């Protein structure tokens, strides 16, 4: 195949309006009436990392309880009222955020906004609902105790971040969950959900004026601000070490990583391209080719840049038969080293840019994808012109950039390696 | 209840027998291009389980015209995404690209309908990949092992009892010749369905399809899918998996049930509503009773495999609270089912279940890829475009009598395989 010519693809043509409600709450809106639906995504910046250590999992539990009863409706009544109109409301949380999402048929928009307003402002935190959701979280923690993927990443987090809040899981522990009281949940609700931490995106069959009124109804009653974020920035530790979590399974799961680049780092775009070539692009990356295609060592092998609010990492993962772990690991290490040393080839760069630029439009073909992406852009503070600029910024990445940034990103290639399984010839270091 | 803006879809056939479905969605300048073959794991020759799925992997290796993964390279260079999946009744390949690249996708997909070339070493390393895939998805997870065993117990004779990925000892023996023989038998225009969803018109798809797929000669008649059918079940079965890795016990149930392919009247639609109402959401009957009101379970769920060419099944799952035994939970589930069969439930509950199901099809219109899968899956399992078109109305027409009838006919003890996932003492 001839070397493809680099194309500065047109930016996606999605029109985004900045809507500001009468009381000053901002949302980004993509107005589109093709399908009779409204999708809203929002995020409050600040999540589980803010939980006091003995109450680990508090934010996760609180978010999980917001739709388990609110205002006059107990848990089941609330859920039934949603189901009567097929309104979907859900909340989740991670170390950095509390997130929410609403999806409704446009004809039920007003009812949906009312129900969401109740969940956001007046969650009941009934004791029976607390007990129920705690039991569900406990059950999922139990399953994770023998899940190879969960075990490997748990050990990875603990070694990389130690006592920092990023060292623990979002769901907490059986001990911390049993400590959390209703009063803790009420306090967490009051502190985490504040207007100055809120980012909102809406896509679908709604106009700016209607949305403005809805925003006030849903979010206008929340506190204007919350205390400053007190989580420290941290660089993952443990490079060069190996942690094995023994588990009686024929295949080992590997979790690997080292420090990465923050989202606002001027080299981030080049690092993104480097990662795509290393292990980000499925079916075409170096890791895919060497580990899966050439040797059949694994079904899945990948790498990605992971940007949390207080840390940045380059992560990788795979799962391979116990007797082939050493070989797989050696190949992955060699690929990291090769990338650090020489960077990509000109042809690899051209092809990566072709893909990354051309495929950006695929993030804009459903309301949910668009809403999710718009919240992401706001949380990361990339600016409302990001979508229009993103492809030309990507196209400006040069071979020299990628070679310099590959060396910066991968450095000496040192990796923290966590393995769950019975890997042959691999021991803790 | 209205259809809420059903898409203006078209469906036609090329002279060589290829079915074509076009689903316009002009919100973004992208298209989803899919080809479904009407064969899946249930068509694997006896003793060669996993061959349909193995071939699906091998289809990415290359053709005479486009060797060494050139298709995947091109998709990537065009900023596209691609993948494939294998079910018991079909195998499907898709790419998602900017609309201007549709023709290229059609050229290459048409090329690999007949031009596959396989080198021995590629086949062997891909077989290792699949053995790793099986280890990852099944061997590391007692719940997956139990589920595999439940299916094998439910279908005693029909190949739906064999896992799609295949049994390990048979995967290990699959060869290049097995893959090519299967390929030559099934990969023909008469056996394929082309679905194009996105920013396209019927005229453009028709013109491009004639230039690409249209040039493939008709083989003769489409391959027939003749699978041994499941005899009527007579005995209740219990499958137990006990493993030290089970930290969270659970109960499962699978009932042999008709699918849309085999159901009489509106039985399959009634089963869909029943599935939603029983344990399909946190507003469902079992969730309310077992999770919320009596705190016997942490979670419950239900599923109904209705998109099958042959018989389907109805599944229930429950995770007990600490201190609640699996046999106790089974008795409670039996009591709820007996109650539903005897008395049904309220009209309000029925209406809520239908509303949710019908809205799901409207929500599906937000995603061209999702719509393409709905139509592809329906056509590949013997359904028609009209079946999708009429689906909402038929769901809406389900009555409480229908529900009681299908519950009594399907959710009875002769048809059930129960599963217990237990921790080794």
How far apart are the C-alpha atoms of A203 and A374, rounded to whole Å? 10
Over the stretch B313-331, which tens digit does the pLDDT of each residue have?
Answer: 999 999 999 999 999 999 9
User: Using the beta-carbon criterion (under 8 Å), do A298 and B129 form an inter-chain contact?
Assistant: yes
Q: Which DSSP category does B191 fall into?
A: G
How far apart are the C-alpha atoms of A307 and A371, rounded to whole Å? 20
Cβ-based neighbours of A108, under 8 Å, separated by 6 or more:
A85, A86, A87
Distance from CA of B276 to the nearest CA of A (A): 11
Contact B69, B62 (CB under 8 A): yes
Phi, psi of B313 (to 5 degrees): -150, 160
How far apart are the C-alpha atoms of A155 and B304, rounded to whole Å? 38
Phi, psi of A256 (to 5 degrees): -130, 155
Tokens representing B243 are 């493993």
Mutate to test the interface with B, among A13, A73, A83 (most CBs of B within 10 A): A83
SS3 A65: helix
User: Using the beta-carbon criterion (under 8 Å), do A366 and B366 form an inter-chain contact?
Assistant: yes
Q: Can you give the pLDDT at residue B6?
A: 52
Strand partners, B33: B95, B196
What residues in A contact B283, CB-CB < 8 Å? Answer: 76, 79-80, 82-83
How far apart are the C-alpha atoms of A285 and A352, rounded to whole Å? 9
Residue written as token pair 């010749």: B177
Contact B317, B310 (CB under 8 A): no
Distance from CA of B223 to the nearest CA of A (A): 31
How far apart are the C-alpha atoms of B34 and B90, rounded to whole Å? 12
Report strand pairing: A198-204 vs A26-31: parallel
Across the interface, of B75, B82, B136, the residue whose CB is closest to A299 is B136
How far apart are the C-alpha atoms of B193 and B377, rounded to whole Å? 10
**Pick from B93, B81, B78: which is nearest to B37 by CA?**
B93
Distance from CA of A83 to the nearest CA of B (A): 6
What residues in A contact B136, CB-CB < 8 Å? Answer: 251, 299-300, 319
Residue written as token pair 């270091």: A429
Q: Can you give the pLDDT at residue B221?
A: 75
User: Using the beta-carbon criterion (under 8 Å), do A284 and B76 form an inter-chain contact?
Assistant: yes
User: Using the beta-carbon criterion (under 8 Å), do A37 and B363 form an inter-chain contact?
Assistant: yes
Over the stretch A90-133, which tens digit does the pLDDT of each residue have?
Answer: 999 999 999 999 999 999 999 999 999 999 999 999 999 999 99
Contact B198, B27 (CB under 8 A): no
**Pick from B237, B278, B239: which is nearest to B143 by CA?**
B239
Q: Can you give the pLDDT at residue A171?
A: 97
pTM score, two decimals? 0.94
Mutate to test the interface with A, among B7, B8, B28 (most CBs of A within 10 A): B28
Within 10 angstroms of residue A218's Cβ, the number of other Cβ atoms is: 27
How far apart are the C-alpha atoms of A128 and A105, rounded to whole Å? 31
Residue of chain B minimizing CA distance to A422: B140
**Pick from B266, B337, B263: which is nearest to B300 by CA?**
B337
The A residues from 269 to 288 touching B (CB cutoff 8 Å) are 281, 283-284
Distance from CA of A230 to the nearest CA of B (A): 35
How far apart are the C-alpha atoms of A251 and A318, rounded to whole Å? 10
What is the length of chain B? 425
How far apart are the C-alpha atoms of B376 and B385, rounded to whole Å? 10
Q: Can you give the pLDDT at residue A103?
A: 98
CB-based burial label for B385 (10 Å; 0-12, 13-18, 19+): middle
Over the stretch A20-54, which tens digit does the pLDDT of each residue have?
Answer: 999 999 999 999 999 999 999 999 999 999 999 99
**Pick from B392, B373, B391, B358: which is nearest to B197 by CA?**
B373
Q: Can you give the pLDDT at residue B4?
A: 46
Whether B56 sits among the annotated catalytic residues: the reply is: yes
What residues in A contact B198, CB-CB < 8 Å? Answer: 365
Planar angle of CA A62, A95, A189, nearest 5 degrees: 25
Share of chain A above pLDDT 90, in %: 94
Residue of chain A minimizing CA distance to B60: A283
User: Using the beta-carbon criterion (under 8 Å), do A83 and B133 form an inter-chain contact?
Assistant: no
Angle of helix A148-161 versus helix A127-144 axis, rounded to 10: 100
Residue A244, pLDDT > 50, answer yes
Q: Which DSSP category does A123 fall into?
A: B
User: Using the beta-carbon criterion (under 8 Å), do B128 and A297 form an inter-chain contact?
Assistant: yes
Distance from CA of A33 to the nearest CA of B (A): 10
Tokens representing A399 are 């071979």
Distances (CA, A) of A52 to A61, A166, A347, B204: 14, 12, 50, 60
How far apart are the C-alpha atoms of B398 and B267, rounded to whole Å? 9
How far apart are the C-alpha atoms of B320 and B299, rounded to whole Å? 7
Residue A2, pLDDT > 90, answer no
How far apart are the C-alpha atoms of B177 and B48, rounded to whole Å? 12
Q: Give the sign of the dihedral formed by CA A22, CA A27, CA A32, CA A38.
A: negative
User: Using the beta-carbon criterion (under 8 Å), do A139 and B27 form an inter-chain contact?
Assistant: no
User: Using the beta-carbon criterion (under 8 Å), do B368 and A365 form an inter-chain contact?
Assistant: yes
Q: What is the mean pLDDT of residues A265-269?
A: 97
The A residues from 136 to 155 touching B (CB cutoff 8 Å) are 136, 138-140, 142-143, 145-148
Domains of chain A and CATH, by start: 17-219 (3.30.830.10), 242-421 (3.30.830.10)
**Pick from B60, B171, B167: which is nearest to A288 by CA?**
B60
Residue A4, pLDDT > 50, answer no
Contact B362, A105 (CB under 8 A): yes
What is the length of chain A? 429
Within 10 angstroms of residue B416's Cβ, the number of other Cβ atoms is: 23
Planar angle of CA B339, A76, B1, nearest 5 degrees: 80
Q: Can you give the pLDDT at residue B284?
A: 95
User: Using the beta-carbon criterion (under 8 Å), do B4 and A105 form an inter-chain contact?
Assistant: yes
Residue A151, pLDDT > 70, answer yes
Phi, psi of A306 (to 5 degrees): -115, 120
pLDDT under 50 in chain B at which residues? 1-5
Does the complex come out with an ipTM higher than 0.90?
A: yes
The A residues from 207 to 236 touching B (CB cutoff 8 Å) are none
User: Using the beta-carbon criterion (under 8 Å), do A85 and B368 form an inter-chain contact?
Assistant: no
What residues in B contact A147, CB-CB < 8 Å? Answer: 141
Cβ-based neighbours of A376, under 8 Å, separated by 6 or more:
none
Residue written as token pair 């072709």: A354
Over the stretch A317-354, which tens digit does the pLDDT of each residue have?
Answer: 999 999 999 999 999 999 999 999 999 999 999 999 99
Q: Which DSSP category does B218 fall into?
A: P
What residues in B contact A143, CB-CB < 8 Å? Answer: 247-248
Q: Single out the catalytic residue among B56, B109, B148, B332.
A: B56
How far apart are the C-alpha atoms of B88 and B42, rounded to whole Å? 5
How far apart are the C-alpha atoms of B362 and B330, rounded to whole Å? 36
């Amino acid at each position: 195949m001839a070397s493809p010519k680099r194309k500065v693809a047109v930016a996606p043509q999605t029109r985004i309006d900045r809507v500001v409600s009468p009381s000053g709450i901002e949302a980004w809106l993509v107005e589109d009436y093709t399908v009779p639906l409204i999708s809203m995504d929002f995020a409050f910046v600040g999540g589980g990392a803010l939980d006091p250590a003995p109450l680990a999992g508090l934010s996760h539990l609180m978010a999980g309880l917001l739709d388990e009863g609110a205002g006059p409706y107990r848990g089941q009544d609330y859920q039934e009222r949603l189901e009567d109109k097929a309104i979907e409301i859900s909340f989740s949380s991670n170390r950095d955020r509390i997130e929410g999402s609403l999806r409704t048929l446009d004809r039920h928009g007003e009812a949906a906004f009312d129900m969401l307003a109740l969940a956001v402002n007046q969650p009941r935190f009934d004791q029976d609902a607390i007990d129920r959701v705690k039991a569900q979280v406990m059950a999922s923690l139990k399953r994770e105790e023998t899940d190879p993927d969960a075990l490997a990443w748990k050990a990875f987090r603990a070694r990389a971040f130690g006592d920092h809040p990023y060292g623990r899981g979002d769901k907490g522990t059986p001990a911390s969950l049993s400590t959390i009281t209703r009063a803790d949940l009420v306090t967490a609700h009051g502190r985490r959900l504040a207007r100055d931490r809120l980012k909102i995106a809406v896509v679908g069959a709604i106009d700016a004026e209607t949305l403005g009124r809805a925003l006030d109804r849903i979010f206008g009653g929340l506190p204007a601000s919350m205390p400053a974020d007190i989580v420290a920035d941290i660089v993952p530790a443990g490079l060069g070490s190996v942690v094995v979590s023994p588990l009686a399974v024929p295949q080992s799961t590997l979790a690997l990583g080292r420090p990465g680049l923050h989202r606002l780092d001027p080299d981030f775009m080049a690092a993104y391209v480097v990662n795509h070539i290393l292990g980000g692009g499925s079916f075409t990356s170096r890791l895919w080719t060497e580990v899966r295609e050439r040797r059949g060592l694994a079904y899945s092998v990948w790498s990605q840049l992971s940007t949390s609010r207080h840390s940045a990492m380059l992560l990788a993962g795979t799962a391979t038969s116990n007797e082939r772990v050493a070989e797989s690991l050696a190949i992955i290490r060699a690929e990291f080293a090769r990338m650090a040393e020489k960077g990509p080839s000109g042809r690899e760069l051209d092809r990566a840019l072709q893909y990354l630029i051309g495929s950006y439009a695929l993030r804009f073909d459903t309301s949910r994808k668009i809403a999710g992406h718009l919240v992401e852009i706001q949380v990361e503070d990339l600016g409302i012109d990001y979508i229009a600029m993103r492809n030309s910024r990507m196209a400006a990445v040069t071979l020299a950039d990628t070679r310099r940034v590959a060396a910066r990103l991968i450095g000496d290639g040192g990796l923290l390696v966590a393995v769950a399984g019975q890997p042959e010839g691999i021991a803790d270091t | 209840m209205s259809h809420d803006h059903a898409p203006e879809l078209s469906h036609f056939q090329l002279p060589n027998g290829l079915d074509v479905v076009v689903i316009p969605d002009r919100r973004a300048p992208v298209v989803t291009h899919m080809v479904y073959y009407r064969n899946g794991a249930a068509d694997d020759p006896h003793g060669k389980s996993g061959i349909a799925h193995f071939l699906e992997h091998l289809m990415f290796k290359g053709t005479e015209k486009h060797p060494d993964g050139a298709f995947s390279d091109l998709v990537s260079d065009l900023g596209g995404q691609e993948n494939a999946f294998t079910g018991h009744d079909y195998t499907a390949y898709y790419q998602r690209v900017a609309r201007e690249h549709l023709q290229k996708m059609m050229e290459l997909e048409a090329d690999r309908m007949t031009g596959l070339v396989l080198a021995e070493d590629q086949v062997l390393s891909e077989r290792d990949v699949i053995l790793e895939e099986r280890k990852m998805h099944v061997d590391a997870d007692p719940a997956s092992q139990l589920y595999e065993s439940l299916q094998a117990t439910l279908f005693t004779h029909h190949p739906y009892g064999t896992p799609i990925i295949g049994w390990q000892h048979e995967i290990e023996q699959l060869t290049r010749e097995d893959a090519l023989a299967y390929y030559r038998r099934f990969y023909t225009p008469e056996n394929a369905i082309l679905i194009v969803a996105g920013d396209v018109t019927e005229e453009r798809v028709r013109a491009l399809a004639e230039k690409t797929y249209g040039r493939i000669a008709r083989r003769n008649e489409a391959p027939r899918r003749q699978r041994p059918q499941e005899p009527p079940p007579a005995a209740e079965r219990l499958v137990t998996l006990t493993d030290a890795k089970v930290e969270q016990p659970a109960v499962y149930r699978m009932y042999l049930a008709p699918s849309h392919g085999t159901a009489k009247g509106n039985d399959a639609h009634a089963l869909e509503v029943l599935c939603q109402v029983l344990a399909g959401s946190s507003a469902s009957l079992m969730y309310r009773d077992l999770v919320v009101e009596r705190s016997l379970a942490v979670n419950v769920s239900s599923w109904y495999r209705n998109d099958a060419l042959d018989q389907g099944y109805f599944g229930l799952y429950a995770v007990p609270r600490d201190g609640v035994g699996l046999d106790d939970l089974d008795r409670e589930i039996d009591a709820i089912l007996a109650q539903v069969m005897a008395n049904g439930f309220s009209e309000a509950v029925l209406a809520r279940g239908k509303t949710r199901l019908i809205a799901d099809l409207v929500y599906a219109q937000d995603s061209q890829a999702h719509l393409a899968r709905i139509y592809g899956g329906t056509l590949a399992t013997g359904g028609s475009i009209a079946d999708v078109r009429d689906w909402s109305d038929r769901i809406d027409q389900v009555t409480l009598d229908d529900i009681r009838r299908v519950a009594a006919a399907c959710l009875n003890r002769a048809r059930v395989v129960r599963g217990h996932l237990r921790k080794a003492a």
